[in-house]
Amino acid sequence: MVTGAGIRRRLGALPIIGRLRRRAERQRLIARGLRSRTALRAISDRTRRIERGDILCFVTLRDERARLPWFLSYYRAMGVRHFLIVDNASQDGSGDYLCAQPDVSLWWTDHGYKAARFGMDWINWLLLRHGRGHWCLTVDPDEFLVYPHHDQRPLAALTSWLDAIGRRSFPAMLLDMYPKGAIEDAVCAEGQDPFDVARWFDPANYSIQKNEYFGNLWIQGGPRTRAFFTHDPLAGPALNKIPLVKWSARYAYVSSTHMLLPRGLNLVYDEDGGELISGCLLHAKFLSSFSAKSAEELDRRQHYGGSQEYRAYHAGLHRGVQLWCSESRE
């Protein structure tokens, strides 16, 4: 027979057990990152140019040559001082282009993206090696950070303010942007602002819940769930991200940039009825290149859940799905 005191002791032990498990998980992820460094070959290592206080940007990519000029110019204008990029065996000239950029350090690998936890082992290693003590922005080449007054104040103004109030991490919801009309007709020229073309978004149709174990919010919905995951909304992609972090050797990304360890880095929201500052990652995925990219990733099967997300995209594109609707906002 279990007494009331015994139950209370067990309940009291649960948070301790959770902390120990998360600590072990964090150590495991850091160790994975350390091991993954052997998969990376430095092509152009300019990290000696990184100075104290520089804001750094970390990226994993494959065949993103056409996106790179706008991506780099956007974040340079925002105040990023150095880009640390892993090229996962691109064949479209991405590597040659990046090698010519004086503020880019480039590593190359042909190891499996999936086996490296969808690239996060490589990123965790680079963050550990080069990101300590810096504000580090981890994004994909089709993600563009915006935050309050970003058009008037550089990223350094935001990170200085975050330092001043003791914040170590900054969240940004992924906001899917899309064209009006067929996706395959949304042509974006190299060097062009993708949001000249993909100007629309869903203002509502989102769900949110709290992950009790990691403490982060889990957001789903928007046009991808509406168009591609109608019959199984919970299978839709997660839109919550924590892309900007004042990095420490004790930190590790757990699942993409959706959540980190230690757990406290995920507590970026107010549960008492107030609000905390956050940003958005404008997502320029839905352009004319999307169909070919989806077909390639479906064939490679290097994404989560056997590339179920890309299977849904492929099926939707085959049906002629368009993301714009009467509720879309520009």
Domain boundaries, the chain: 12-318
The answer to whether 193 and 200 are in contact (CB under 8 A) is no
Per-residue pLDDT of the chain (330 residues), as tens digits, is 444 454 344 434 558 999 999 999 999 999 999 999 999 999 999 999 999 999 999 999 999 999 999 999 999 999 999 999 999 999 999 999 999 999 999 999 999 999 999 999 999 999 999 999 999 999 999 999 999 999 999 999 999 999 999 999 999 999 999 999 999 999 999 999 999 999 999 999 999 999 999 999 999 999 999 998 888 888 889 999 999 999 999 999 999 999 999 999 999 999 888 889 999 999 999 999 888 777 776 666 555 555 677 777 867 766 778 999 999 999
CB atoms under 10 Å from CB of 230, counted, come to 12
CA dihedral 8, 13, 15, 21 (to 10 degrees): -150
- According to DSSP, the β-strands at 244-246 and 169-170 are antiparallel
Nearest to 232 by CA among 224, 241, 244: 224
CB atoms under 10 Å from CB of 218, counted, come to 15
Cα separation, 172 vs 244, whole angstroms: 8
pLDDT of the residue at 23: 96
CATH architecture of 12-318: Alpha-Beta Complex (3.90)
Instruction: Return the bridge partners of 104, or none.
Output: 83
pLDDT of the residue at 273: 84
> Where do we find the tokens 């090229």?
87
Q: What is the distance in angstroms between the CA of the first residue and the CA of the last residue of the chain?
A: 63
Length of the chain as a residue count: 330
Cα separation, 131 vs 119, whole angstroms: 16
pLDDT of the residue at 309: 75
Q: What is the model's pTM?
A: 0.91
pLDDT of the residue at 107: 98
Cα separation, 135 vs 54, whole angstroms: 7
